[in-house]
Chains A and B, each alone.
Chain A
Amino acid sequence: MTTFRRQGRGRPRQEKTVRFSFDGKEYAGVEGDTLASALLANGVHLVGRSFKYHRPRGILSAGSEEANALVAFDRGPGRVTLNVRATTLDLYEGLTARSQNYWPSLKFDITEINDKFSALFPAGFYNKTFMWPKSFWDWVYEPFIRRAAGLGPAPSEPDPDHYTSAYDHCEVLIVGAGPAGIAAALAASESSARVIIADEQAEFGGSLLSMPEAAIDGAPAWQWLESGLETLRSRDNVTLLPRTTVFGYYHDNFLGLAQSLTDHMSEPDPKEPRECLHKVRAAKVILATGAIERPLVFADNDLPGIMLASSAQTYLNRYGVAVGDNAAIFTTHDSAYIAAFDLSDANIRIAAIIDARATVDTRLIEEAKKRGIEVRAESVVTGAVGRFRVKRIRVNRVLASGVSAPEMIDCDTLLVCGGWTPSVHLWSHSKGTLKWKSELGAYVPDRPNENVICVGACNGEFGLKRALETGASAGGGAARLLEVKEDCGWSGEVFGALPTDRNETRIKAFVDFQNDVTAKDIKLAVREGFKSIEHVKRYTTAGMATDQGKTSNLNGLQIASNALARPVEQVGLTTFRPPYTPTTFGVLAGAQSGDTFDVTRKTPIDPWAVSAGAVFEPVSLWRRARYFPQTGEDMYAAVARECKATRESLGIFDATTLGKVEVVGPDASEFMNRMYTNPWAKLGVGRCRYGLMLREDGYIMDDGVVGRLANDRFHVTTTTGGAPRVLSMMEDYLQTEWPDLDVWLTSITEQWAVIALNGPNARKLIEPFVDGIDLSQEAFPHMAAREGRICGIETRLFRVSFSGELGFEINVPAHYGLTIWRKLYEAGREFNITPYGTETMHVLRAEKGFIIVGQDTDGTVTPDDAGMSWAIGNKKLDFVGKRSLERPDIVANGRKQLVGLLTADPNFVLEEGAQIVASPGQAIPMKMVGHVTSSYWSETLGRSIAMALVKDGRSLEGESIYVPMPGATIEAKVGSTVFYDPEGERLNVI
């Protein structure tokens, strides 16, 4: 089938053939492969184009740090995931993936011309170039950048998958199931402690899976792994989470885990969720996240076929795949020698080991000699040659004064190793501090900020023995010393920029492969004055790609440090932020998408509105009927009809959403006195009053009608959206400022359904149904409130009006709301009863000049601004906001005041929010003196009406103001906010 499989190598598995497609071509792999290992087994190294220069790119690594091999993973319509790392994609029968960033084909990419003209694209290119003219942004620069820069096309269909989430709790959460993590889990789970161990890979074992030769306690390491996992599986207190990425570490040991459930399946059950978000609160966290090998920075180090040394080892030892026939090794660290020996032992020719270090461990030299491998110490690779795959490399000896002349070495693969970077990402999320360890050339964990411990390589403790020891000890295990055989040396040096004989301005030595950032770019940033690594990062974009610089940060830091001639620890380190690897929006949203995105509160009368064909609108969390169109009606026609019917006969409106708070207790009226501007002490039982509430800064916060049902009981209504904050503010004052007041506050919003009846026939309709309340004008005047029965059901009946017509608000227990509504509606047919929605309610109230808090006020409007000084109890010594009404800026002239507007053209309806000027002929920018807050067509008046906040508005009564709109400037006359029935006679229809 392929020439790159090595029989007898790799993890033991059933050799089940799996077919897959890449860029439209069919290939065969083996179950257990990743897409990357299967492509390599087929000899495919070219898998994509780079982001900026569109250079051919191959496979750099064998894990989630991959910066090059990004593919579009296609599971069907709406199921295309972009920028998936081929190295983490588990192969299954029928898998389909495509390469990215090319046009028209991967091998012939026209935009590769960016590479030839790269002198035009230095660091900060976008910042420097696309500066002016500003208008070019919209139609030249942005479309060009978007087309040229793409990381694959974004999917246009909605995501058909669903996702789930769970809260998990444990005593110990272990991140990473390599040797250190497993040792920790074994030790921690010996007690009854609940242990969760998560690993991003499908198979547990981490680096052990690439180490078939290692031995623990005299037995092969793979056997230790097998029995260890067996033990963990058998323990009830242990949860093993494979394919689970711990993507974020938040406060107080709260971690986010994304578990992939179906992406590796050929035919997943569509009922199963695709991913699960585990929200884990752990008493203790053990980070066993390992380390990431660092590439080396030299000219054309991004050619396909150039790969991390340990990754080649993984492909061979874990997947049984040879990454080439003739490999060269370029290293500054001992570990690459072991990779070379493993490959050599699998009959892969090793062209040479090029080691930048002056001295190399003699045991490694000996081992190399045994295998006939040439070691070139104190030498560097200064270039790689090839079109879509490395063909030969350029090697120079390092001399006291620069480097020797180059020599070419043939190879089809170059394995690189620039040392190891501990994976401290999660540690840093948790705000643990780091310290620079110069012998490792890396930052390692220093002081923790949570109950967390790092073990093994992520703590800078390299080698299998240290991994097992530190893991077991962190898990609370006894210090039993394990006998460990491993053949890896862990000594190395860190170089950053390597010496070369080439003109550095003419070469590309990549630091960040994914964002196409070169050593030259970083040096340029330093020359241009960027001194902090955070600024260098943003200017060059190094480390800002989706891999967040996992393989590049430390190389970039070293190069910046050299260029600045300052030690690394003074240059700093960029901040690690969640997520560790790209995380789907789907798993973060979980069930909160589509219809379940947010709560929708529905009133008991909502089903009737649905059946009556209502058009709904959201009002805070509620959905409310906006209007009830009849056949052929648009909103304007429906609202005109609803308004007319209400004013002429009878309208019915669902007011259930009004916030309702019951204020009860011996001190209830004193409490009301302090919370509202109005006086309450003398309000009689059975009476209502309009209440105005201010914030302590004197601005209007809320309003509503308040009924006094007993001496010690107030039924307070609030605006629909304001109910929670009104109750919260009342509770705040009651609990913290006036705990001596004997008052209880209860939210009763959902206890009562409210049916509002408005119109001259309102009383006639309800009279036959009401028991225990005399509804006559004398006994039950405007602003009266009584308890009684309607249709035999208890009611709190208010005679109030938000329309200016004779009006009643009938409160009934919520679960009777629909029944009573239906009954009244049926009986109302003789009066042409007309259901109306929020739109008509708005028009009716505007005709009367009643404000809507939040529409005609905006948090900077005082009672006087709104023309409502009448609502202030001037004799009261104090209430919330009273002192602020004397603040200098609030009593000053020139405040915006609420006025009515009548347009010169009665048919023109102003736009709400439109700005107002005093005179039309001004030069632009004109001086704005206010804005329109409410504006409607009034069917009753046969013309448009509007309200506006205008500077010194009340003094402008009778004068014209102007509203500049696109195409025309509209003239309007300032007047009263009460447009209809200013005497209020219609309230008292008998």
Chain B
Amino acid sequence: MILIRCPYCDEQRPEVEFVYAGEAHISRPQNPNLLSDDEWAEYLFIRKNARGVHYERWVHAHGCARYFNAARNTVTDKILMTYKTGEPKPSVEEIAEAAK
């Protein structure tokens, strides 16, 4: 059971308080009607299957109920850093710095 730091509560809490919410940094298109079928399918269905750093969303379901983002290493299953929704996607260097 991994530990996850909720960036809103600013506390490290056990995984059972959280629910995984899929890949991060996929924005809903502003005007879906202008998208071709392929573009819409890309948004709906196509997800990364990263080996290594993966940007993903979690929700602190049994806590503050906020959605936030995390960078997790899918090989070691370690959460490297968490950050608030809307904050820019951190670079690999920033993640390495935060994980120290």
Measured CB to CB, the residues of A under 8 A from B are: 250-252, 254, 281, 431, 449, 696-697, 728, 731-733, 735-737, 739, 877-878, 882-884, 886-888
B50 to chain A, nearest CB (A): 19
From the candidates A281, A736, A877, A883, name the one contacting B67 in the complex (CB within 8 A): A736
* A254–B16 alpha-carbon span in the complex (Å): 13
Contacting pair B65 A877 (CB below 8 A): no
A667 to chain B, nearest CB (A): 17
Does residue B48 face the partner (Cβ distance < 8 Å to A)?
no
Query: Would you give 16 A-B contacts (Cβ < 8 Å), ordered by A?
Result: A252-B1, A252-B3, A254-B1, A696-B44, A728-B59, A728-B61, A731-B65, A732-B67, A735-B67, A735-B85, A737-B27, A882-B32, A882-B33, A883-B32, A883-B35, A884-B40
What residues of B have a CB within 8 angstroms of the CB of A281 in the complex? 3, 14
* A737–B85 alpha-carbon span in the complex (Å): 10
- Given the known interface contacts A251-B2, A449-B76, A878-B33, the answer about A732 and B59 at a Cβ–Cβ threshold of 8 Å is yes
With A281-B3, A431-B76 given, can you name 5 additional A-B contacts, CB distance below 8 Å?
Answer: A251-B2, A251-B78, A736-B86, A739-B86, A882-B33
- Given the known interface contacts A731-B65, A884-B40, the answer about A878 and B32 at a Cβ–Cβ threshold of 8 Å is yes
Contacting pair A883 B40 (CB below 8 A): yes
Does residue B66 face the partner (Cβ distance < 8 Å to A)?
yes
Contacting pair A251 B1 (CB below 8 A): yes
Of listed A251, A697, A886, residue having the most chain B CB within 10 A: A251
Q: How many A-B pairs fall under 8 Å by CB?
A: 58
Does residue B91 face the partner (Cβ distance < 8 Å to A)?
no
What residues of B have a CB within 8 angstroms of the CB of A888 in the complex? 37
* A877–B44 alpha-carbon span in the complex (Å): 18
* A254–B3 alpha-carbon span in the complex (Å): 9
* A950–B32 alpha-carbon span in the complex (Å): 30
* A203–B9 alpha-carbon span in the complex (Å): 44
Does residue B28 face the partner (Cβ distance < 8 Å to A)?
yes
What residues of A have a CB within 8 angstroms of the CB of B14 in the complex? 254, 281
What residues of A have a CB within 8 angstroms of the CB of B77 in the complex? 251
What residues of B have a CB within 8 angstroms of the CB of A883 in the complex? 32-33, 35, 40
What residues of A have a CB within 8 angstroms of the CB of B41 in the complex? 887
Of listed A281, A731, A736, A878, residue having the most chain B CB within 10 A: A736
A579 to chain B, nearest CB (A): 16
Residues of chain B from 29 to 63 with CB closer than 8 A to chain A in the complex: 31-33, 35, 37, 40-41, 44, 57, 59, 61
A33 to chain B, nearest CB (A): 39
A400 to chain B, nearest CB (A): 50
What residues of A have a CB within 8 angstroms of the CB of B98 in the complex? none
Does residue B99 face the partner (Cβ distance < 8 Å to A)?
no
From the candidates B2, B59, B65, B67, name the one contacting A252 in the complex (CB within 8 A): B2
Does residue B96 face the partner (Cβ distance < 8 Å to A)?
no
Of listed A252, A449, A731, A735, residue having the most chain B CB within 10 A: A252
* A51–B41 alpha-carbon span in the complex (Å): 55
What residues of A have a CB within 8 angstroms of the CB of B15 in the complex? 251
What residues of A have a CB within 8 angstroms of the CB of B59 in the complex? 728, 731-732
B23 to chain A, nearest CB (A): 12
- Given the known interface contacts A728-B61, A883-B35, the answer about A250 and B27 at a Cβ–Cβ threshold of 8 Å is no
Select from chain B the residue with minimum beta-carbon distance to A167: B14
Select from chain A the residue with minimum beta-carbon distance to B85: A736
Select from chain B the residue with minimum beta-carbon distance to A745: B65
What residues of B have a CB within 8 angstroms of the CB of A732 in the complex? 21, 59, 67
What residues of B have a CB within 8 angstroms of the CB of A696 in the complex? 28, 44
Contacting pair B76 A887 (CB below 8 A): no
B32 to chain A, nearest CB (A): 4
Measured CB to CB, the residues of B under 8 A from A are: 1-3, 14-15, 19, 21, 27-28, 31-33, 35, 37, 40-41, 44, 57, 59, 61, 65-67, 76-78, 85-86
What residues of A have a CB within 8 angstroms of the CB of B57 in the complex? 736
* A886–B15 alpha-carbon span in the complex (Å): 39
* A597–B28 alpha-carbon span in the complex (Å): 40
What residues of B have a CB within 8 angstroms of the CB of A878 in the complex? 31-33
Contacting pair B28 A731 (CB below 8 A): no
What residues of A have a CB within 8 angstroms of the CB of B31 in the complex? 877-878
Select from chain B the residue with minimum beta-carbon distance to A251: B2
* A882–B33 alpha-carbon span in the complex (Å): 8
What residues of A have a CB within 8 angstroms of the CB of B33 in the complex? 877-878, 882-883
From the candidates A731, A733, A737, A887, name the one contacting B40 in the complex (CB within 8 A): A887
What residues of B have a CB within 8 angstroms of the CB of A254 in the complex? 1, 14
* A877–B31 alpha-carbon span in the complex (Å): 8
* A597–B40 alpha-carbon span in the complex (Å): 43
- Given the known interface contacts A732-B59, A878-B32, A882-B32, the answer about A250 and B37 at a Cβ–Cβ threshold of 8 Å is no
From the candidates B1, B27, B67, name the one contacting A731 in the complex (CB within 8 A): B67
What residues of B have a CB within 8 angstroms of the CB of A252 in the complex? 1-3
What residues of A have a CB within 8 angstroms of the CB of B76 in the complex? 431, 449
B18 to chain A, nearest CB (A): 12
Instruction: List 7 A-B pairs, minimum CB-CB distance, nearest first.
Output: A883-B32, A251-B2, A252-B3, A737-B28, A735-B67, A254-B1, A736-B85
What residues of B have a CB within 8 angstroms of the CB of A250 in the complex? 1
* A739–B33 alpha-carbon span in the complex (Å): 21
Select from chain A the residue with minimum beta-carbon distance to B28: A737
A280 to chain B, nearest CB (A): 11
What residues of A have a CB within 8 angstroms of the CB of B66 in the complex? 735
B96 to chain A, nearest CB (A): 17
A822 to chain B, nearest CB (A): 35
* A432–B15 alpha-carbon span in the complex (Å): 21
Contacting pair A884 B44 (CB below 8 A): yes
Select from chain B the residue with minimum beta-carbon distance to A882: B32
B30 to chain A, nearest CB (A): 9
* A696–B76 alpha-carbon span in the complex (Å): 32
What residues of A have a CB within 8 angstroms of the CB of B37 in the complex? 886-888
What residues of B have a CB within 8 angstroms of the CB of A886 in the complex? 37
* A737–B26 alpha-carbon span in the complex (Å): 10
* A307–B14 alpha-carbon span in the complex (Å): 45
* A697–B21 alpha-carbon span in the complex (Å): 16
What residues of A have a CB within 8 angstroms of the CB of B65 in the complex? 731
* A241–B28 alpha-carbon span in the complex (Å): 53
Select from chain B the residue with minimum beta-carbon distance to A733: B28
* A886–B67 alpha-carbon span in the complex (Å): 30
* A357–B90 alpha-carbon span in the complex (Å): 60
A162 to chain B, nearest CB (A): 23
A426 to chain B, nearest CB (A): 16
* A878–B29 alpha-carbon span in the complex (Å): 11
* A449–B78 alpha-carbon span in the complex (Å): 10
B34 to chain A, nearest CB (A): 9
* A251–B67 alpha-carbon span in the complex (Å): 23
* A281–B14 alpha-carbon span in the complex (Å): 10
Of listed A449, A728, A737, residue having the most chain B CB within 10 A: A728
What residues of B have a CB within 8 angstroms of the CB of A449 in the complex? 76
* A251–B27 alpha-carbon span in the complex (Å): 31
Select from chain A the residue with minimum beta-carbon distance to B75: A431
* A654–B14 alpha-carbon span in the complex (Å): 37
Select from chain B the residue with minimum beta-carbon distance to A886: B37
Select from chain A the residue with minimum beta-carbon distance to B24: A736
* A878–B77 alpha-carbon span in the complex (Å): 38
What residues of A have a CB within 8 angstroms of the CB of B44 in the complex? 696-697, 884
* A737–B33 alpha-carbon span in the complex (Å): 17
* A788–B11 alpha-carbon span in the complex (Å): 44
B85 to chain A, nearest CB (A): 5
Select from chain B the residue with minimum beta-carbon distance to A877: B33
* A736–B28 alpha-carbon span in the complex (Å): 9
* A112–B84 alpha-carbon span in the complex (Å): 67
A282 to chain B, nearest CB (A): 12
Select from chain A the residue with minimum beta-carbon distance to B1: A254
* A731–B85 alpha-carbon span in the complex (Å): 13
What residues of A have a CB within 8 angstroms of the CB of B2 in the complex? 251-252
* A736–B21 alpha-carbon span in the complex (Å): 12
A243 to chain B, nearest CB (A): 24
What residues of B have a CB within 8 angstroms of the CB of A884 in the complex? 40, 44
B17 to chain A, nearest CB (A): 13
* A657–B19 alpha-carbon span in the complex (Å): 24
Of listed B1, B32, B57, B65, residue having the most chain A CB within 10 A: B32
